[in-house]
């Protein structure tokens, strides 16, 4: 069960970090990340310093698990648009209008990922105590981004 939880959390963190442009391009192509040591710090890594209760950990896992299908779908859209754009760039003749459509589709999918991540972070923050939220904000600032 623990391994399954890590897999779902890893999937969420990968997609949420891609939405923020934190993961390298290879990871944005859907390659798995093991160890979750992402540039800029991963949300779950920061959660470790919050001393979550077992009930809070279960709630965080549940939130991530619920969001996983939506993140997966958005990532499929990102990959599809990115592939179309790369194929257009490699073609013998460049079709600016089609390339713009593919770029717009990728941007829309990335925007959807960013929105999902913001919704998820908000839901997680709701289960934290005021002290835990304050500590999360401190950790996020230390890692160069705000959690709010």
Assess if residue 75 is contained within a domain.
Answer: yes
Q: pTM value?
A: 0.63
Q: Phi/psi of residue 95, each to 5°?
A: -105, 100
> What are the CA-CA distances from residue 16 to residues 10, 23, 88, 96, 106 (Å)?
10, 9, 27, 30, 15
pLDDT score of 21 more than 80: no
Query: What is the tally of structural domains in the chain?
Result: 1
Helix, strand, coil content of the chain in percent (nearest 5): 75, 0, 25
Is 148 domain-assigned? no
Give per-residue pLDDT as tens, 33-69. 333 333 333 556 667 788 899 999 999 999 999 999 9
Alpha carbons within 13 angstroms on the beta-carbon side of residue 136 total 23
Give the C-alpha separation, 63 to 70, whole Å: 12
CATH number at residue 16: 1.20.120.1490
């Amino acid at each position: 069960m623990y391994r399954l939880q890590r897999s779902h959390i890893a999937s969420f963190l990968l997609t949420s970090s891609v939405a923020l442009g934190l993961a390298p391009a290879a990871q944005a192509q859907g390659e798995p990340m093991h160890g979750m040591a992402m540039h800029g710090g991963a949300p779950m890594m920061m959660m470790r310093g919050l001393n979550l209760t077992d009930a809070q950990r279960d709630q965080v896992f549940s939130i991530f698990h619920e969001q996983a299908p939506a993140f997966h779908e958005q990532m499929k859209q990102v990959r599809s648009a990115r592939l179309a754009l790369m194929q257009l760039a490699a073609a013998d003749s460049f079709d600016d209008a089609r390339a713009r459509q593919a770029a717009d589709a990728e941007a829309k999918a990335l925007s959807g990922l960013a929105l999902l991540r913001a919704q998820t972070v908000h839901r997680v923050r709701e289960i934290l105590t005021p002290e835990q939220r304050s500590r999360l904000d401190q950790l996020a600032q230390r890692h160069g981004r705000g959690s709010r």
